[in-house]
């Protein structure tokens, strides 16, 4: 037990140790729980930790292993973003309106993880209803960046990114609507992946923007990410938008493609924005690294990129306004009594939702209103198609695309809360990927002089999540970065 060094323990290694009988899932889970007790009060990644439940699952996993069962994640402790339902446990979406909501069913991804024997430690913090880029929009408390406690961890899946960065869980699930997995992964120095839209079932993910949302994994490295992705992917009859296709073994493909040379595109429009100098320098280094590895690097054009943020901030709020209509105080969640039905609706929603959620509900309602629909929603949908076509065209020339994840490293808490437009710009490189439904991977690519993590994004064609992970794997091996936040190292 003392020899258990969580800081360098990957899921793959943990499974080996478990299989060899050198550790038990109970020990591993206990170690994570102790780590949570020590560090979480500082970083506040978790909204909910249930020790008893976690240990019970771990004990069950140990019994199963003794009985000769071999789940792909048997006994591995994970953190789950609190907008994914686990039956019998709270799902708050970091919103007051769902503060007391207990999930009545399991999300499909949870069902799949349970089948493979994963252990759930608890639920992680997020921007309310996943709306935000810093986890500051949580109705309960902000999560802090373990590399610098005065900075944000990114968002909206900030809690999951921090949980993995601090080894308060060997892996995690988040959701990504405009960058909500990739940007916090980048800010916290871990790997995060948004799969191709429709690869992973959305059933049981509390909807923010249905045509953009996608659940994806966080892990310490690409291999673990590939393993988690394999487990949660696949057709789900409960999600009409999920793709009815076979999911390959991503971990195996990584090895097969270990030396494959790719044609990698660098979109010139992504460099027309103001980039933080160290982000700019890092991406140049990455380009050199790709060339050194023998990949063909060429410039590509994604001409409609400049419209991506505008399009996103019409489509996402429109879908959100509709999806969030159900939180009305009638059936579940917060109810504030009023003299009439309408007053009850108004009071419940006024008290239950935070500022950013209200802002987006209003934006979205406006964009869908009769008389404005054509000018906003319909127009945005058309431009969205153009953005998607840009990528399809680029992928005729290249296999993959490489971009920064975020224009800046992690920013200070409070720095952008009063300026939503600045906050929105933080997702400028990740949003187009959601609009096009493509797979996007964020992996650590270096550090700033202040020791803040930097990240690079690999984008692939639809359903080429395997290629995206393969290039990520090559970069990761070549860089061989140590990504242990100081707060963790100090333990």
Partner 1 sequence: MEFEPVIGLEVHVQLKTKSKLFCSCSTKFGAPPNSQICPICTGQPGVLPVLNKEAIHYALKLALAVGAKVNRLSIMARKHYFYPDLPKNYQISQYELPIAEGGAIEIEVNGSTKLINLTRIHLEEDAGKLVHDEKKPYSYVDFNRTGIPLLEIVSKPEIHSPEEAVAYLKTLRSIVRYLGICDGNMEEGSLRCDANVSVRPKGSSSLGVKVELKNMNSFKHVERALAFEIKRQTALLLEGKTPVQETRLYDEATQTTHPMRGKEEAHDYCYFPDPDLIEVRVSEDWIEKIREELPELPSAKKARFIKEYGLSSYEAGILVEEKPLADFFEDTVRLYAKPKAVANFILTEVLRYLNRDNISIEQTQLKPEFLAELLSLVDDGTISITIAKQQVFPEVYEKGLPPKRVVEERGLKQESSEELLRKLCEEVIKENPSEVEKYRSGKKGVLGFFVGQVMKKTGGKANPKLVNQILTELLEG
Catalytic amino acids? 81, 156, 180
- Contact region with partner 1 (CB under 8 A), list: 50-58, 158-166, 323-331, 436-444: 323-331
Binding test (CB under 8 A) with partner 1, winner from 47, 80, 205, 398: 205
The binder of partner 1 chosen from 33, 93, 186, 398 (CB under 8 A):
93
> Is 420 in contact with 359 (CB distance < 8 Å)?
yes
Minimum CB separation of residue 240 from partner 1 in Å reads 5
Q: Does residue 385 interact with partner 1 by CB under 8 A? A: no
Q: Does 99 bind partner 1 (CB under 8 A)?
A: no
Cα separation, 148 vs 188, in Å, equals 10
Residue 148: CB atoms within 10 Å: 20
Residue 330 contacts partner 1 per CB under 8 A: yes
Place of tokens 């400028």: 428
Q: Which of 10, 241, 260, 417 binds partner 1 (CB under 8 A)?
A: 241
How many C-beta atoms lie closer than 10 Å to residue 430's C-beta? 29
202 forms part of the interface with partner 1 (CB under 8 A): yes
Number of residues near partner 1 (by CB under 8 A): 43
Shortest spacing between CB 108 and partner 1, in angstroms: 9
Least separation in angstroms between CB 491 and partner 1: 36
Compare residues 211 and 301 and give the one whose CB is closer to partner 1: 211
Q: What character string, x for contact with partner 1 (CB under 8 A) and - otherwise, covers 150-189?
A: ----------------------------------------
Interaction residues for partner 1, span 334-363 (CB under 8 A):
341, 345
CA distances from 278 to 179, 184, 248 (A): 20, 18, 37
> Rounded to the nearest 5°, which phi and psi values hold at 28?
-65, -45
Separation between Cα atoms, residue 446 and residue 259, nearest integer Å = 22
Shortest gap between Cβ of 2 and partner 1 (angstroms)? Answer: 41
Told to check if 203 binds partner 1 by CB under 8 A, we report yes
Among 37, 88, 104, 386, which residue sits at the site for partner 1 (rule: CB under 8 A)? 104
Closest approach, Cβ 423 to partner 1, in A, equals 24
Positive or negative: CA dihedral 257, 258, 262, 266? positive
Q: Whole-number minimum distance, CB 239 to partner 1, in Å?
A: 5
**What DSSP element (H or E) covers 466?**
helix 465-479
Residues in the chain, overall count: 491
Does 239 bind partner 1 (CB under 8 A)? Our answer is: yes
Specify whether the CB–CB gap between 309 and 422 falls below 8 A: no
DSSP secondary structure string for all residues of 207-276: PSSTTT-EEEEEESSHHHHHHHHHHHBS--TT-TTS--S----HHHHHHHTTT---EEEEEGGGGSS---
Which of the stretches 28-36, 100-108, 185-193, 396-404 binds partner 1 when contact is defined by CB under 8 A?
Answer: 100-108
* Contact pick of 105, 140, 271, 307 for partner 1 (by CB under 8 A): 105
Centroid of chain to Cα 483:
18
Among 50, 91, 157, 160, binds partner 1 (CB under 8 A): 91
Q: Cα–Cα distance between 131 and 317 in angstroms, integer?
A: 9
The whole-angstrom separation of Cα 401 and Cα 287 is 11
Candidates 166, 181, 318, 467: give the one binding partner 1 (CB under 8 A). 318
The vertex-255 CA angle with 250 and 258, nearest 5°, equals 115
Per-residue contact flags (x/-) with partner 1 for residues 46 to 85, judged by CB under 8 A: -------------------------------------xxx
For tokens 């993995």, the residue is 164
By CB under 8 A, name the one of 98, 193, 220, 405 that touches partner 1. Answer: 98
Residue (168 or 383) nearer to partner 1, CB: 383
Q: Which residues contact 261 (CB under 8 A, 6 or more apart)?
A: 293, 294, 295, 296
With beta carbons less than 8 A apart as the criterion, state whether 312 and 384 touch.
Answer: no
Do residues 215 and 109 make contact, with C-beta atoms less than 8 angstroms apart? yes
Q: What is the DSSP letter of 6?
A: G
Shortest separation between residue 203's beta carbon and partner 1, angstroms: 5
Q: Is 107 in the site for partner 1 (CB under 8 A)?
A: yes
Binding piece for partner 1, criterion CB under 8 A, among 33-41, 350-358, 364-372, 416-424 = 364-372
Angle at 109 between CA 106 and CA 112, to 5 degrees: 90
Q: Which among 463, 483, 475 has a CA at the least distance from the CA of 250?
A: 463
108-115 vs 222-232: helix axis angle to the nearest 10?
110
The smaller minimum CB distance to partner 1, of residues 319 and 399, is found at 319
Q: Which is nearer to partner 1, 146 or 329 (CB)?
A: 329
Nearer to partner 1, 89 or 151 (CB): 89
Question: Counting contacts by CB under 8 A, is residue 325 touching partner 1?
Answer: yes
330 vs 491, which CB is nearer to partner 1?
A: 330
Among 99, 365, 389, 417, binds partner 1 (CB under 8 A): 365
> Which residues form the interface with partner 1 (CB under 8 A)?
83-85, 91, 93, 98, 101, 103-105, 107, 202-207, 209-211, 237-241, 318-319, 321-322, 325-326, 328, 330-332, 341, 345, 365, 368-370, 373, 377
């Amino acid at each position: 037990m003392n020899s258990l060094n969580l800081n360098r323990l990957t899921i793959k290694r943990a499974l080996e140790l478990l299989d060899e009988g050198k550790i038990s899932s109970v020990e591993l889970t206990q170690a994570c729980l102790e780590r949570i007790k020590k560090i979480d009060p500082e970083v506040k990644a978790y909204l909910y930790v249930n020790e008893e439940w976690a240990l019970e699952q771990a004990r069950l996993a140990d019994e199963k292993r003794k009985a000769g069962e071999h789940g792909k994640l048997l006994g591995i402790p994970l953190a789950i973003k609190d907008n994914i339902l686990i039956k019998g446990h709270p799902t708050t979406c970091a919103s007051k309106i769902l503060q007391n909501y207990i999930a009545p069913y399991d999300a499909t991804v949870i069902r799949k993880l349970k089948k493979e024997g994963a252990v759930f430690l608890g639920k992680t913090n997020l921007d309310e209803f996943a709306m935000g880029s810093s986890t500051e929009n949580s109705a309960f408390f902000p999560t802090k960046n373990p590399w610098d406690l005065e900075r944000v961890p990114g968002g909206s899946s900030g809690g999951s990114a921090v949980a993995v960065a601090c080894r308060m869980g060997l892996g995690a699930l988040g959701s990504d609507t405009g960058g909500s997995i990739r940007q916090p992964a980048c800010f916290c120095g871990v790997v995060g992946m948004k799969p191709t839209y429709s690869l992973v079932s959305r059933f049981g993910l509390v909807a923010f923007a249905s045509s953009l949302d996608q659940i994806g994994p966080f892990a310490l490295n690409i291999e673990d990410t590939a393993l988690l992705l394999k487990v949660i992917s696949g057709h789900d009859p409960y999600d009409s938008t999920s793709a009815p296709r076979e999911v390959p073994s991503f971990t195996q493909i990584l090895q097969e493609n270990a030396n494959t040379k790719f044609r990698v595109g660098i979109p010139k429009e992504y460099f027309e924005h103001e980039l933080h100098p160290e982000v700019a320098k890092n991406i140049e280094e990455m380009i050199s690294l790709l060339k050194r590895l023998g990949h063909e690097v060429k410039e590509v054009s994604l001409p409609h990129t400049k419209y991506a943020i505008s399009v996103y901030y019409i489509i996402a709020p429109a879908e959100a306004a509709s999806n969030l209509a159900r939180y009305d105080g009638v059936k579940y969640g917060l109810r504030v009594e009023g003299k009439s039905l309408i007053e009850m609706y108004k009071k419940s929603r006024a008290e239950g939702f935070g500022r950013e959620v209200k802002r987006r509900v209003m934006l979205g309602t406006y964009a869908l209103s009769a008389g404005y629909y054509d000018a906003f929603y319909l127009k945005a949908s058309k431009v969205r198609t153009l953005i998607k076509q840009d990528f399809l065209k680029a992928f005729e020339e290249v296999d993959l695309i490489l971009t920064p994840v975020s224009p800046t490293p992690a920013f200070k808490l409070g720095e952008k809360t009063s300026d939503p437009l600045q906050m929105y710009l933080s997702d400028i490189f990740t949003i187009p990927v959601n609009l096009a439904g493509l797979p996007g991977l964020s992996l650590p690519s270096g550090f700033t002089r202040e020791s803040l993590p930097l990240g690079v994004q690999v984008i692939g064609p639809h359903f080429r999540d395997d290629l995206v992970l393969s290039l990520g794997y090559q970069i990761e091996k070549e860089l061989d970065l140590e990504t242990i936040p100081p707060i963790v190292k100090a333990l």
